[in-house]
Amino acid sequence: MKLVAQVWRSSVRLLTTNYGGGNKSGLWRWRSFSGQPKRTVMWTWVCGFMLFTLGVISLFTGHVVSHLEWYSQQLSKKSLLDVSRREPINVWKSKYSKFFYGCSERRRNFPPAVQEHSSNGYLLIAASGGLNQQRTGITDAVVVARILNATLVVPELDHHSYWKDDSDFNDLFDVNWFISSLTKDVTIVKRVPDRVMRSMEKPPYTMRVPRKSTPEYYLDQVLPILSRRHVLQLTKFDYRLANDLDEDMQKLRCRVNYDSLRFTKRIQSVGMKVVKRMRKMAKPFPSCDLSMTSTSSCYVHNHTYVKYRFEPDMLAFSGCDFGGGGKERAELAKIRKRWDTLPDLDPLEERKRGKCPLTPHEVGLMLRALGFANSTYIYVASGEIYGGEKTLRPLRELFPNFYTKEMFASDELKPLLPFSSRLAAIDYIVSDESDVFITNNNGNMAKILAGRRRYMGHKRTIRPNAKKLSALFMGREKMEWHTFAKKVKSCQRGFMGDPDEFKPGRGEFHEYPQACICQRPFSYDKTLTDDEEEDTQEEVHNNTRPAHGHLSSADIEHDEVFPD
C-alpha cells in the first residue's frame, strides 16, 4: 500500500507542477488548470490513472508471485486428502505415503557449531525416565546446547527410576557416532576437562527448568548462570523444551533422533536377529507389545507390528479400571502412590474420555475387526503383563500364533536380562522394522516410534481411537460381529497413520515432526501400478504376499506422558 500511496502522490505532484503556478493559491491553481485545453486535461488524468493502476498491479502481482508456490502446494495437498478420504482403508499401507519423505538436512546458512574453547561453558544433562523418555531428553539436550552456544557433555541416564537400570549412555548408544555425526551442529565431549573442574571454586550449579521451556527462557534464565559458573547441570531433563521452534532447530531435533542416536552394535545385532528369525518363520506377520511400562507392540502378518502396553505401572498411572474388582483397584492404587502429583480419577469417566489403554482382549478384537485373520502370526514385545497368562488368554484365542523375543533369541538375551532399557531397545528395533505398527496407548514409546516411522517413509502406524472404541467395546455384545467390525473400521478412519492425518501444531513434535516432512508433487493418475491397485482391493485375510507398507502415527486427542 505504500507503493500505491507513492504513485498517487506522484500523480498529484505532476498536476501541481504543470499547472500549479508555484506560490499561487490553491484556488488560482485550480482555475488555471481548468482553463487549459480540454485535450490536455484529459491526457493528464489518463496518465495519472495509468500510473496509479501500474502501482496497484505491481504491488499485488509481487504478492501473488511470492505465494504462488505455496498456493500450488496447498491445492495439491487438498487434492490428495480429498481423494484418500474417499477410498477404503488398506491396513497394510497407504498408497499416498510415496509422496512424503523425511528431510532434515542442515541448510547452508545454518552457522557451524561453536568450538569448545569459544563456547559459553559446559552443559551437563541428567535425562530421566525409561529408554524413550530419555531419548526425548537427549534429543532436546542437543538443541538446548545449540541455543546456549554451549559445549554439551554426553548426557547421563537415569539410574534411580522404577526400573533401577544402571546402564550408561555408551551401554545403549554408539557414543562415538553420536559425537562425530553432530560435529557441525554442536560440540560434544565425553566429560568436562580436568583443568576446568580444578579451576572451579564451587561444584557445578544444578537447576531444573520448567516443562516445555521456550528458547527465550533458556537465553534469559539459563545462559546468565552458565556464563557465570561455566559448568551447569540441568536435572530431570525430559520434555523440557517447547514443541514450537524455528525450522532449523526442528530439523536439528530430527537429525539427532533419527540419525545420531544409534544403538550399540551389540543391541542392534540382537534386535535384527529377532527380526530375521520372525521373517524366516512367517512372511508376513505382526508384532504386539503387551507391556505396561514400555510400550507394547505386535508384529502382525506381513512384518506388521501391533504396539501394545499392559504393564502394572502403566495401568496404575492411567487411573483406569480393567475389570479386576477390588483386588485390582487396591494393587493399582498402591502403585499410584509412587507419583505424588497424580490426581484422583473416576475410572469409568476416564474410559469414556478415551484415556484408558486397551486390554489385550480389546486389541485382539480391534485387529480382527480391521481384517487381520486368526492365522496371523503375532509377536509380543513387552515386559511384565498385568494379570499374566489369564490376561493374555483372550488374545491367544484370537491369534494362536503368538511369539515373544525370548522364544526367538533366548541365548542372546541372557546378558541383557538385568537391564530393562537394553531389553526395551530390542523391542524398539523390532517395532521400527515392522511394516505396520499398532499401539494401544499414547505413551512415550508410541510417540517416539510414530514420529520416526512418519519420517522414515510414513510406514503404517495404527493407534486406536480409544474414545469411540470404548463405547463399541462396552456394547459389542448387543450387536452382530459384522456390525461391530464395520463400526470399528469407521471409527478408525483418521487413526491409521495416513499422511492426511497430519495436523500441524498438534501433539508433541517428536510425534509429528512436521518441519522434517516434505511432499513430492501429487499426481492421482500415477499413484498406483496395476499390481498395487489389486493389492489395495484385496481383503486382509486373503493377502498372502509381502506388503511393505510405509505409514505413521494417527492423531490422539490427549497429550499425556506415561511412565516409560
Three-state SS for 523-557 is CHHHCCCHHHHHHHHCCHHHCCCCCCCCCCCCCCC
Amino acid at 233: Q
Q: Which three cell numbers stand for residue 278?
A: 520372525
Rounded Cα–Cα distance for residues 553 and 499 (Å): 9
Backbone angles phi, psi at 17, to 5 degrees: -65, -45
Cα–Cα separations (whole angstroms), residue 261 to 138, 169, 192, 347, 425: 9, 10, 21, 38, 12
pTM: 0.74
Q: Please, are residues 309 and 291 in contact by the beta-carbon 8 Å criterion?
A: yes
- Strands (DSSP E) contained in 289-334 are 297-301, 304-306
Q: pLDDT tens per residue, the chain (564 residues)?
A: 444 444 444 443 444 444 444 443 433 333 333 444 545 556 666 666 676 666 655 555 444 444 444 444 554 555 555 555 567 788 888 888 888 999 999 999 999 999 999 999 999 999 998 899 999 999 999 999 999 999 999 999 998 876 678 999 999 999 999 999 999 999 999 999 999 999 998 899 999 999 999 999 999 999 999 999 999 999 999 999 999 999 999 999 999 999 999 999 999 999 999 999 888 876 655 556 554 433 344 544 444 444 444 455 555 555 566 655 566 666 666 666 666 666 677 667 777 777 788 888 898 999 999 988 888 887 777 666 656 677 788 888 998 988 888 888 989 999 999 999 999 999 899 888 888 888 877 778 888 988 999 999 888 888 889 889 988 998 989 999 999 999 999 999 988 888 877 665 566 798 889 999 998 886 655 544 434 443 433 333 333 333 323 323 333 333 344 445
